[in-house]
Structure 1
Amino acid sequence: MFSTESAQNHDQKLNEEKPAWSTQDVPNHAFVLLETRKFGFEERPMPTLQSPRDVLIRVIATGLCGSDIHYWHHGRIGKYVVDNPIILGHESAGIVEACGPDVKSLAVGDRVALEPGVGCNTCEACRSGRYNLCGSMRFAATPPYDGTLATYYILPEECCFVLPPHISFQEGALVEPLAVAVHCCRLAGDMQGKSVIVFGAGPIGLLGCAVARASGAATVVVVDIVQSRLDFATRFGATATYLMSSQLAEVNADIMLAQTRLSEGADVIIEATGAEPCINCGIHALKRGGTFVQAGLGTPVVSFPVAQICDKEATFKGSFRYGPGDYKFAVELLRSGRISVKELVTHEFSFVEAEQAFINVLERRGIKSIIYGPSVDKKLVNETAML
């Protein structure tokens, strides 16, 4: 921990530089999931900077993710178990409230997107540029680490990305899932002129579709079981869609390839559902020598035609969160206008309505739900977005 004198100096600087729209002495309210899987509101201690590179952020907007719903509804994801109260949320944007003495690229008042995972920076994975695989990763809203559905959150400088002036806090919160989609597409390699099939028209699938198009893919087919989501995908960049039926995976694949004129199969499959029928269909629809990227998580163990992978000499890749450069590229896609994410936000909730937001996502209403931070005024958010 850095010196008390340094902390006092920066606290004094913080008080001198507080923007007019920032509230001083705002308590740290938190939306907490209890071990009983019930929700509650608590006032937590004010977080303090633990490193000279740390940044204190006031959280303005947070998007809900499927993992948040899974922890609430099932109490665990794989080995990560909710056995103590935890604050959920990890798709967030906010305002810099204080900076440690070694922070150089940020200033109080900056509007930032939060990359919610902090690696150890010393293990082999981190040192080789694959920090998303760090075994000591401290990731927001993954037990035992609290998430961002609170007034304040602390991250190191390198995990805070300044938002362009024309990008809203809502859009800033969606940088996180956009970075997931960027990582998927980067794993697939060069997409220029390629054909891509994306399974799932939820947020990650839709963003995968958009990133693939922005990366030069000539054909992007989006597959889902809900026609309304496919209709949205068409407006969001898909060149074609396919409504998945209950038929055998290979039958669905044959029909889809015939309808989309991909007689030899797709160069790239991005699977964003985790559903076994979609995985199997994707493998059958993959071109010989193609690349299959698995992003969706469903049932932990699935059965799929591994012989097809061997026969096609296909490349099967798992995709986990995001790595170096993915957040930066995601912000650049928004800044340049090559991708727009504002259309994905279909529901907005105040902090006191957070539980209703969870119910909304559980019942699959709309596409992306946003929860505003404690005491955040929506009008104020829209005004400060253009500062």
Structure 2
Amino acid sequence: MTTPLPEHMTASVLTEPKTIELRNVPVPALGRNQVLVKVESVGVCGSDTHFYETGSIGDIVVEGPVVLGHESSGIIVAGGEDVASSRIGTRVSVEPQTVCRRCEYCKRGSYHLCRAVEFYGAWPVDGSFAEYEVIDDDFAHEIPEEMSFDQAAMAEPVSVAVHAVRKARVTQGARVLITGAGPIGVLNAQVARAYGASEIVISDPVENRRDFAEAHGATRAVDPTQTDFAQFEEHFDCYIDASGNARAIDSAIPTIRPGGIAVLVGMGGNRLELPIALMQHREITLTGTFRYVNTWPDAIALIASGKVDVDSLITGRYGLGDVEEALLKAKTDPLAIKTMVIPGQGDTARA
């Protein structure tokens, strides 16, 4: 006998900047090719915190109530008309976006650049800080039985790193510089190593972050306030910024060898001064990243194999009633790295 699905669910709703309310809301309706996922774990991202504090990121402005969160995993409990019944009960990691599948970007495989993309947790699209969410069936990626839901939720930030490392063209023996040793910087270091990098230097002014990075992927961690980057002149094959800090980027560009690549992942200001003559003379390629595309299978495989360790990044878990505390944990606790929200958990935090 099939268990009837609830019509309503609990969700943590951002109603205005710095205000989140626990609300009883309708369970989202299924499309023909969509599945309903019972959310088991959600990672807190810096973008969630930014939306919470300011009500906007770039040109995305929160104009009404919205459920934040986009790093999620769970169990498929229902499917639309065109979804195979065998999918019910599947444990999945959710790729949190829907796209049109018809435009030139979607058709050439760059669906992340689709102009009609709806990204979860970015107004007006509700995200994952809730008991249930819907997603296109093929964006609900099956995970191995031995993979935990926390690990599966971390496939999203690992995908950010996979996309960046691919853009940086990291190959066997590559020398990589990374600025910013937060969760994304550390994951970039781990993914770069998995892709064959032999030297991975990470820069961050916070000592405990440098120590963590050296223990989890980096071959060396340096303090930018105490380091003369002239020693690295033309040394690195590629550079990945995970800080968004203009001074860090400016210091890093001269360390890139002729023909090298700079990849900007961190979100900083709207404008950036760069040493254009140097970049032209060395033919340095500069590119940004916009989320990810076709990364989930690799991200899941890297986590499942142990080549990327996500468990050590998780430093706290909170229930839906404590989402506000979870959003600010990285700012209130200098030792916090990655915080998870567990919809099925009570409102008492646990490590």
TM range (shorter): over 0.9
Equivalences for residues 159-308 of structure 1 within 5 A: 159-245=139-225, 252-255=228-231, 257=232, 264-308=234-278
2-structure distance, mates of 1:76, 1:106: 40
Alignment CA distance shift 1:308-1:363 (3 Å): farther
Using the TM superposition, give the Cα deviation of residue 27 of structure 1 relative to its aligned residue in structure 2, in angstroms. 3.7
2-structure distance, mates of 1:127, 1:369: 36
2-structure distance, mates of 1:364, 1:137: 34
1-structure distance, mates of 2:85, 2:203: 41
Equivalent position of 1:370 in the other structure: 340
Equivalent position of 2:87 in the other structure: 107
Q: How many residues align?
A: 346
CA shift digits 1:245-276 (9 cap, x unpaired): 17xxxx73214x2xxxxx63100101111100
The residue identity in structure 1 corresponding to 2:39 is V
2-structure distance, mates of 1:347, 1:363: 13
Alignment CA distance shift 1:370-1:106 (3 Å): farther
2-structure distance, mates of 1:106, 1:54: 14
Q: Any conservation in 2 of the 1:59–1:153 contact (CA below 8 Å)?
A: yes
CA shift digits 1:207-242 (9 cap, x unpaired): 100000000011011111111101011110211111
Q: 1:332 aligns with which of 297, 301, 309?
A: 301
Task: Give identity over the alignment, percent.
Answer: 35
Q: Which runs of 5+ in 1 are unaligned?
A: 1-14, 258-262, 379-387
Q: Secondary structure at the match of 2:293?
A: coil
Q: TM-score, normalised by structure 1?
A: 0.85
Using the TM superposition, give the Cα deviation of residue 117 of structure 1 relative to its aligned residue in structure 2, in angstroms. 0.8
2-structure distance, mates of 1:186, 1:106: 34
2-structure distance, mates of 1:163, 1:300: 37
Q: TM-score, normalised by structure 2?
A: 0.94
Q: Which runs of 5+ in 2 are unaligned?
A: none
Using the TM superposition, give the Cα deviation of residue 101 of structure 1 relative to its aligned residue in structure 2, in angstroms. 3.3
Q: Any conservation in 2 of the 1:27–1:151 contact (CA below 8 Å)?
A: no
The residue identity in structure 1 corresponding to 2:229 is A
Using the TM superposition, give the Cα deviation of residue 308 of structure 1 relative to its aligned residue in structure 2, in angstroms. 2.0
Equivalent position of 1:48 in the other structure: 29
- In our comparison, the structure showing a higher alpha carbon Rg is 1
Q: Secondary structure at the match of 1:34?
A: strand
Quote the RMSD (CA, aligned, Å).
Answer: 1.9
Using the TM superposition, give the Cα deviation of residue 311 of structure 1 relative to its aligned residue in structure 2, in angstroms. 1.9
Structure 1 residue 120 corresponds to structure 2 residue 90: no
Equivalences for residues 78-117 of structure 1 within 5 A: 78-104=58-84, 107-117=87-97
Q: 1:348 aligns with which of 310, 317, 320?
A: 317
